Amino acid sequence: MQVGSSYLGEPIARVEDPRLLTGGGRYLDDLGQDAVELAVLRSPHAHARILDIDVSGAIDVPGLLAIYTYDDLSGPLAEPLPLLIPHPSISAGRTQYVLAKDEVNYVGEAIAVVVAENRYLAEDAAERIEVSYELLPPVVGLVAAREAQQLVHRDVEGNVAAHFVQQVGDAAAAIAAAPHRLSLELSVERSASTPLEGRGVLARWDTDSQRLRVWTSTQTATGVRAAIAARLGLDLGSVEVITPDVGGGFGVKIVHPWPEEVLVPMAARALGRAVKFTEDRREHFISSAHERAQLHEVEVGFDDEGHLLGLSVRFWHDNGAYLPYGLIVPIITSTQLLGPYKPAAYRVEFESLYTNTVIVTPYRGAGRPQGVFAMERTMDAIAAELGIDRAEVRARNFIQPEEMPYDHGLIFQDGRPLVYDSGDFPATLDKLKALVGWDEWPAYQAQARASGRKVGLGLACYVEGTGVGPYEGGHVQIETTGKVKVSTGLTSQGQGHQTAFAQIVADELGVAISDIEVVTGDTRRFPYAVGTFASRAAVMSGSAIALAARAARAKILRVAADALEAAAEDLEIVDGMVRVKGAPGNEIALGTVAVLSNPLRYAFDEASKAATQFAVGDPDLPPVAEDDEPGLEGKDYYSPLRSTFANGMHAVIVETDPDTAEVAILRYCVVHDCGTLINPRIVEGQIHGGVAQGVAGALYERMAYDESGQLQNASFMDFLMPYVSEVPERIEIDHLETRSPLNPLGIKGAGEAGVIPGAAVFASAISDAEGFQITAMPISPSELFELRRQHAANAAQKGTQP
């Protein structure tokens, strides 16, 4: 690292923002103004057999170009979509077809697509397609799925897609022998990513070169590319996938290929026209993905001090109609539930169940909000049972810093052992207690109660496995202008990668941020990549880019050492100049080094004149030495042994209205440890957005399916994504920086942190305010009102008993 030129850790403003904030963003629907448009006919029924599809009524619609149903598909296009992440415990993995074959399993499943001159006409035509159905009984919700009186898939008994058990020690025996035991039933409802920009795809088929270029609003350009090539029978080299600006992903856009990501290129090739699909909001609600619905049964045994002797968790996961993303969400719940704690024995068992509802795939937090809810409600219950301070019970069960790396003896979602690499949980808790004023709380609460106010303080801790493999790569190139071009294959959905990655490169190469350009998610620039999910971009691509920049730096110094007639180790790079340490004036610009690195035949400008083969190098040697390459660039990959574990703790103070049962947020405090901070401002922005989604999942959002499987709130009018007026005006944040030993910069992921403890911390605070335990989230004022009545009635009944 350069003396006096450290960008790493600086809260610099995002270089993306001026463009995005002044309307300069180019999102999918901004592209392809010449494209014809595709609309999808979707199932109005949750479960039905398709008897007949009659398109004759649609044929006359003006501007109609094509209608496709399942019968029009052949080869790989007619096969079910892939089960992206298989797992040995999946006994019945079912995925949907790009267009429904014989049966539909949720309201919103694609049945036919229409391509017309514009979306209006395409919808007109779609409306005129007549589908005859034989209705089948729908399975909606976990209770119905478990009862299995009706089946989602005829051949899947009990609606069970997978059954999985992991254990360390004999939890049942430990619980049975424990001095204290508790059982809890805890549930979380469905929510969804709901990015501001929905899904969207644009495809152009070049008839001359027989090549396909696709733009898609995705979290994985390389994944979509491989999927399209496989489904359309094209060589990978004939398909390019580019991600334009993406208006948020939060998990839903890691699923791939979406049916439309295959159907749009298919239509573009068939019609020889650019074809575009822009998902509308209702479609997003009923045909992309949801998450979170789980029911948990916790058995815990503990000693008089509150030490966890045995913990046994059974839970049921609603995976929706199909299982394209495997078991990632429930596996994360089952492992990350443990948080910062070390029960002496642990057993977890889950069933992943089919229902006739939209598919379930990771949404920011990905199973952790549920796991943390289950664990933290348990810690509060133990504290209440023993009459011990809630923070103290937690502290007594923490894994200690000197126990790191800590091996839980379980297998994590990446198939690797669940080993925490680093973290200082006692220090995190101390910081949070100081930040929120934990020790002063009882006095404050007593005072508020005396004046008729109901206030509550909640606490929740979590550990988050971030930066999962297998790999990412980075490429760094110095141009003859001295500008630096950086690319990595994973995508950006608004995280500020252009800024954060540039900060890394600026430090490694000693150049100004303004001279660095970062490109992400373009398979033309970087064809090997995994994607942006699991809080992995900074860890994976950040590390890869750092390594690539170091490779470029090594070459810079080698070439410059030659030119300056100095030893490479005596050189430093400052402000774009390579100079000999302690020898002012003996320096060479990076751009000139780039010129020297590339002997040319042809000259177009002054820089290239200086680089012709007649101007540079030793005439007795080949212009490009053996084992060398022309140009000044570095490329490298980062592939970690396993995930790195970030952690954090949140506290919230709420006030509940004694009359209306509305919940007001008085303070929200976060202590967060994601290792080395590349840019604290970006990390805090991630926390702000995550907390907003945590508030959403705790107090507002749910998917209101009725018994027939109709989603009753498929719009932002009734799906209550919080407005800015519903999230805390101020989020108080403190950081720890416990470096990860697993990567060159000591980074841990920060993308999902803010949302993870949301349901848990609000349940804790509302319970503290109300004096009874909250066991199901989210909670609305109406539900809190009903709970108050129920508890008042129970208390009255107890009072009348002898």
Q: Which residues bind another protein (CB under 8 A)?
A: 119-120, 123-124, 127, 280-282, 659-662, 700, 704, 712-713, 717-718, 720, 722-723, 725-726, 780-782, 785-786, 789
Of the pair 629, 707, the CB lying nearest another protein is at 707
> How many residues does the structure list for the chain?
802
Instruction: Give min distance, CB of 123 to another protein, in A.
Output: 5
Comparing C-alpha atoms, which of 717, 713, 705, 721 is closest to residue 106?
705
Instruction: Give min distance, CB of 576 to another protein, in A.
Output: 46
Comparing C-alpha atoms, which of 796, 457, 507, 430 is closest to residue 676?
507
Instruction: Give min distance, CB of 698 to another protein, in A.
Output: 13
Burial 1-30 (b: 16+ CB within 10 A, else e): ebeebebbeeebebbbeeeeeeeebebbbe
Of the pair 481, 660, the CB lying nearest another protein is at 660
> Left, alpha or beta for 460 (phi > 0: left; psi -120 to 50: alpha)?
beta
Q: Which residue has the tokens 């403003």?
A: 13
Of the pair 392, 786, the CB lying nearest another protein is at 786
Who contacts 564 (Cβ-Cβ below 8 Å, separation ≥6)?
571, 578, 579, 580, 586, 587, 588
Of the pair 658, 771, the CB lying nearest another protein is at 658
Of the pair 486, 696, the CB lying nearest another protein is at 696
Of the pair 450, 717, the CB lying nearest another protein is at 717
Alpha helices, H only, 80-234:
119-127, 141-147, 171-177, 221-232
- The sheet carrying 36-42 orders its strands as 64-69, 110-116, 36-42, 275-278, 200-206, 211-216, 239-242
**CA gap 534, 242 in Å, rounded:** 21
**CA gap 164, 412 in Å, rounded:** 13
Is the distance from CB of 67 to CB of 114 less than 8 angstroms? yes
The CA–CA distances, whole Å, from 215 to 63, 228, 265, 523 equal 24, 12, 10, 11
Tokens standing for 676? 């080395």
**CA gap 183, 776 in Å, rounded:** 15
Pairing of strands 406-411, 239-242: unpaired
Instruction: Give min distance, CB of 700 to another protein, in A.
Output: 7
Instruction: Give min distance, CB of 438 to another protein, in A.
Output: 30
Instruction: Give min distance, CB of 9 to another protein, in A.
Output: 37
Pairing of strands 36-42, 110-116: antiparallel
Instruction: Give min distance, CB of 412 to another protein, in A.
Output: 37
Instruction: Give min distance, CB of 726 to another protein, in A.
Output: 5
**CA gap 481, 589 in Å, rounded:** 9
Instruction: Give min distance, CB of 129 to another protein, in A.
Output: 14
Of the pair 13, 196, the CB lying nearest another protein is at 196
Of the pair 150, 713, the CB lying nearest another protein is at 713
Comparing C-alpha atoms, which of 205, 217, 273 is closest to residue 247?
217
Instruction: Give min distance, CB of 202 to another protein, in A.
Output: 18
Instruction: Give min distance, CB of 127 to another protein, in A.
Output: 7
DSSP label at residue 84:
S
Of the pair 147, 280, the CB lying nearest another protein is at 280
Q: Which residue has the tokens 């600086």?
A: 10
Q: Which residue has the tokens 């004036």?
A: 585
Of the pair 544, 759, the CB lying nearest another protein is at 759
Instruction: Give min distance, CB of 780 to another protein, in A.
Output: 7
Instruction: Give min distance, CB of 146 to another protein, in A.
Output: 23
- Give Rg (Cα) of the chain: 28
Is the distance from CB of 767 to CB of 760 less than 8 angstroms? no
> Left, alpha or beta for 437 (phi > 0: left; psi -120 to 50: alpha)?
left
Of the pair 241, 714, the CB lying nearest another protein is at 714
Of the pair 357, 686, the CB lying nearest another protein is at 357
Of the pair 737, 783, the CB lying nearest another protein is at 783
Of the pair 143, 704, the CB lying nearest another protein is at 704
Q: Which residue has the tokens 């809890």?
A: 184
Instruction: Give min distance, CB of 481 to another protein, in A.
Output: 45
What is the 3 state secondary structure string of 737-774? CCCCCCCCCCECCCCCHHHCCHHHHHHHHHHHHHCCCC
Instruction: Give min distance, CB of 267 to another protein, in A.
Output: 18
The CA–CA distances, whole Å, from 745 to 1, 193, 484 equal 11, 30, 20
Pairing of strands 308-320, 346-354: parallel
Is the distance from CB of 375 to CB of 338 less than 8 angstroms? yes
Of the pair 581, 789, the CB lying nearest another protein is at 789
Of the pair 37, 318, the CB lying nearest another protein is at 37
Instruction: Give min distance, CB of 663 to another protein, in A.
Output: 11
Of the pair 124, 380, the CB lying nearest another protein is at 124
Largest separation between any pair of C-alpha atoms in the chain: 107
**Distance in Å from the first CA to the final CA of the chain:** 76
Instruction: Give min distance, CB of 691 to another protein, in A.
Output: 16
Of the pair 136, 714, the CB lying nearest another protein is at 714
Instruction: Give min distance, CB of 712 to another protein, in A.
Output: 5
Q: What are phi and psi of 133, to 5 degrees?
A: -120, 150
For helices 368-386 and 390-397, the axis angle rounded to 10 degrees is: 110
**CA gap 96, 80 in Å, rounded:** 5
